[in-house]
Structure 1
Amino acid sequence: MSTAMEREETVEVPTGRGLGRLLASTGVSIAGQGMVLAAVPLLAARLTNDPFQVSLTVAATYAAWLLVGLPAGALVDRWPRRRTMVIADLVRALIIGGLGLAVIAGVAQMWLLILSVFLLGVASCFFDPAAQAALPAVVGRDPSVLARANGRMWSLDLIGRSLIGPPVGAALFVMAAGLPFFANGATFLLSAALLVGISSLHPPARVGEQFRLALSIREGLGYLARHSELRTLTIGMGSFNFVYNLAYATLVLYAKDRLQVTEQGFGLLLASAAVGGLFAGYVVSKVGRSPRASTLYAAGLAMQGLGWLMVAAMPNAWVAAAALAMVGAASMSVTILGGAARQRLTPDAMLGRVSAITRVIGIGAAGLGALANGLVAGSLGLQQAVLIAGSASVLAAVFFWRSD
């Protein structure tokens, strides 16, 4: 039976062709999703006072990736990427628009909200790997060009998801609870329209005449496991996400209890992390070539660990803001450079699967980190959870540094 490696037909296209539309699509859809990031918990709080049910709105997205992520990545490597992204956008517009109608009609219930978030996550399981696979098809595989393109894309993600979307979504929700959902639906439609105009995306190479989903997933897992650099990138991402959520999951409680900040002040703390991420996005996008995966995650984990240790050791809001800017910079750096390296090292016929596998592992590690945070903070205290996360991050950095 022929393999993806044997049938690889990667097609290079003129650098930058279609990049503007791809970035514009990312910018508008992510801004809309940022609105819903604020609107979903606000709507959940109106529908119920049960903390467990509210938490399910967050868990629903994780569940979508854990359940659907691997088969979605295999199918993305079989289907034309542009068509996959356009259909995913249209499906997401339909889902979020239907939720908005239910809110306006006054018939929205928690089960519908949780189901909608889950279905949006399922559609993202197809859109996100396709978008990651589309980027090198648009700009080529030159390391410096890929780093710049990833830097621009992830900076737009950060701006829309963290700086613009949430405050706009909250303001629209106050005006009328259904507005942010309709606005997000409109951004998905606009994103789909922009993607239709991209002419430089080619279908991925076919993997034989007959397609078997389980075999395709195993092939992707096997390829990643055998490729030492891709394997290190994936383990690094999982490690980074685990220690991040080991500290972040109850950061809002730590900020109120130890840092004595208001709800508005907590929002400013998160904004400082976003500012650090934007600065790092500008700097690292100019890197000519990504460092080795072990070096990248050694540096990223060390910077993250130092940030969390500062937060735990010096409970001061200004110190915490500076420290969170470091954490945000570390997160953006490993995201951009790691993503560029993954795209450069992975054959086109494998890129959807490798991207999806990495995302599933990263999300699973984030969920485990949040669970560990709850156990540690509940038994030892909020400050101790942040301290342990910082220490674990530094130890992980030493491990990656020694393995270089």
Structure 2
Amino acid sequence: MTEAMEDQQPVDASPGRGLNRLLASTGVSIAGQGMVLAAVPLLAARLTSDPFQVSLTVAATYAAWLVVGLPAGALVDRWPRRITMVVADLSRAVIVGALAVAILTGVAQLWILVTSVFLLGVAGCFFDPAAQAALPLVVGRDQQRLATANGRIWSLDLLGRSLIGPPLGAALFALGASIPFFGNAVAFLVSAGLLVGLGQMAPATHAVAHPPVLRSAREGLRYLVRHGELRRLTIGMATFNFIYNVAFSTLVLFARDRLHVPEAWFGALLAASAAGGIVSGYLVPKLRRQFTARSIYAAGLLVQGCGWLLVFVAPNGWFAGISLALVGAASMAVTVLGGTARQRLTPDALLGRVSATTRVAGIGAAALGAIVGGLIADAQGLSGNLLTASVLAGASALLLVLRFGATPRGAGYESLDGPG
């Protein structure tokens, strides 16, 4: 495989009905996941007050990618993407529904919560690469259309995961701990129903004999490692995720014990990051014309570091919410930009594997960050990991600028459309 893609033609696909179904499925599914995003740490905090044990619930989602992420990507590249997404949604509905029953009947323990979160992550290992690989088949590979579609999808992701879902999930959790989990199960079922109407969207190599799964996974890994721009973007994304979770892993305890945020309002604190993220999702397709991807990664790291530092010095939950809005804006910028570049630079036959490999790197870094954050909080208190994340973010931004440079589009942004 070479880095160039001169012989790959853009997919001639309509952005209409298929994109609308993807957007509707994303909105419903993510709103349900957003409820659980607030409910999981709240439930963990009820089950234990140990910061490290609470951080395990954050790490469990990401740990799934380390176990099955690479082979899942290889399988996605040989399975019809619609069927893969539907089966993954149905599996997640069963898993989170079973957890809700355990909570309702009073048998839920921390290990059951961690196991359920891990299994949800396993299903996501199949859904997420399939969804990423399906998008260019729906809207084509034109960079502007891809950036716009990614911006809409990730804005919906933040809207549901941070703005609508968490406040609703926290409020429902206060009424009954099992309610947000039952709600998420219903959301996955609705999402699967919406996806049924999509075409099969089989990968380009569906009629070709496939090598063994592990060999196929290694092919995707080799392509990413040898592609300069994809490799650098992956390093930037992994660094961003690691630092983010160093701070976020025990945020629920910091909000409760230091900011004195009630359980029912923890979701509102998370929702603050969505406001910055949604604005960022609108601006990123415009910003990409002005700066390189690496410039925005450097700026994103710097903004993230400032955000966590402000959370540390926040006198109350309101000020912390404004600070988290900065973190959300930075996260959205690097997510949209990285996803668009990856879809543009990767052949369709490899897109599932490259997406999965990138997620393994990013989510593996996030899992490690969550564990490190828990250990730091155990050793230094709940403020220690926030300060550590701030310092690491600033240092990483400086290193990224010094190592790769941060130049205007005219001086090198075109590398996103060609060899790295």
Return the TM-score normalized by structure 2: 0.84
Q: Report what 2:357 is aligned to.
A: 357
- CA pair 199-107 structure 1, distance change in 2 beyond 3 A: same
Shift of 1:206: 4.1
Q: Please show how residues 247-326 of structure 1 align to structure 2 within 5 Å.
A: 247-255=247-255, 267-287=267-287, 289=289, 291-312=291-312, 314-317=313-316, 319-326=319-326
Q: Partner amino acid for 2:147?
A: A
Determine if contact 1:144/1:286 at 8 Å carries over to the other structure. Answer: no
**TM superposition shift of 1:67:** 0.5
Contact residue 10 and residue 348 of structure 1 kept, 8 A = no
CA distance in 1, matches of 2:120, 2:253: 29
One-letter identity of the residue aligned with 1:148: T
Aligned partners of 1:370, 1:148: CA distance in 2, in Å?
A: 31
Deviation per CA, 1:139-195, whole angstroms, max 9, x where unpaired?
A: 111111111111111111112112222333344445554433332222112111111
Question: Contact 2:43/2:177 (CA < 8 Å) preserved in 1?
Answer: yes
Inter-CA distance 36–50: structure 2 relative to 1 (3 Å threshold): same
8 Å CA contact retained: 1:7, 1:205:
no
Instruction: Tell me the equivalent position of 2:130.
Output: 130
Give yes or no for contact 1:10–1:205 (8 Å, CA) kept in 2. no
Match of 1:345 in 2: 345
Secondary structure in 2 matching 1:214: helix
Instruction: Specify every segment of 5 or more residues in structure 1 that has no aligned partner in the other structure, as ranges.
Output: none
Aligned to 1:400: 400
Matches within 5 A, 1:37-76: 37-44=37-44, 48-49=47-48, 51=50, 55-76=55-76
- The equivalent residue for 1:32 is 32
**Corresponding position of 2:234:** 234
Residue 126 of structure 1 deviates from its aligned partner by: 0.3
Q: Is the 8 A contact 1:57 1:117 kept in 2?
A: yes
CA contact (8 A) 1:10 1:347 kept: no
Report the RMSD for the aligned CA atoms in angstroms: 3.1
**Alignment partners' CA distance in 1, 2:256 and 2:307:** 18
- Tell whether the 8 Å contact from 2:58 to 2:367 is kept in structure 1 after alignment: no
Report what 1:194 is aligned to. 194
Tell me, in whole angstroms, the C-alpha distance in 2 between the residues paired with 1:259 and 1:132: 38
The amino acid across from 1:316 in the alignment is: P
Amino acid at match of 1:322: I
Asked if the contact 1:276–1:326 (Cα under 8 Å) also holds between the matched residues in 2, the reply is yes
SS of alignment partner, residue 205 of structure 1: coil
Q: Percent of aligned pairs with the same residue? A: 63
Stretches of structure 2 lacking an aligned partner (at least 5 in a row): 406-420
Relative to 1, partners in 2 of residues 1:271 and 1:175: Cα closer, same or farther, differing over 3 Å? closer
Determine the C-alpha separation between the residues in 2 that align with 1:88 and 1:185: 12
Question: 1:345-379 CA distances to partner (integer Å, 9 max, x unpaired)?
Answer: 11111111111111111122122223333444444
The equivalent residue for 2:386 is: 386
Deviations 1:83-121 (CA, angstroms, capped at 9, x unpaired): 100111122222233333444455555554433322221
Partner of 2:409: none
The alpha-carbon distance between structure 1 residues 185 and 388, as it changes in their structure 2 partners (threshold 3 A), is closer
SS of the residue corresponding to residue 18 of structure 1 reads helix
- The equivalences for 1:149-168 within 5 A come to 149-168=149-168
1:164 is paired with a residue whose SS is helix
Tell me the residue number matched to 2:97.
97
User: Secondary structure, in 3 states, of the residue corresponding to 1:199?
Assistant: coil
What amino acid maps onto 1:353 in structure 2?
Answer: R
Label 1:12 to 1:171 Cα distance change in 2 as closer, same or farther (>3 A): same
CA distance in 2, matches of 1:40, 1:379: 24
Correspondences of 1:79-98 after superposition (within 5 Å): 79-98=79-98
Q: Read off the aligned partner of 1:294 and give its amino acid letter.
A: R
Query: Structure 1 length as normaliser, TM-score?
Result: 0.87
Structure 2 CA distance, aligned partners of 1:288 and 1:298?
14
| Residue aligned with 1:201, SS | coil
1:315-362 deviations in Å (ceiling 9; x for gaps): 434554433222211111111111111111111111111111111111
2:244 match: 244
Structure 2 CA distance for partners of 1:290 and 1:36, relative to 1, 3 Å: farther
2:418 corresponds to: none
CA distance in 1, matches of 2:111, 2:378: 29
What displacement does 1:240 show? 0.8
3-state SS of 1:88 partner: helix
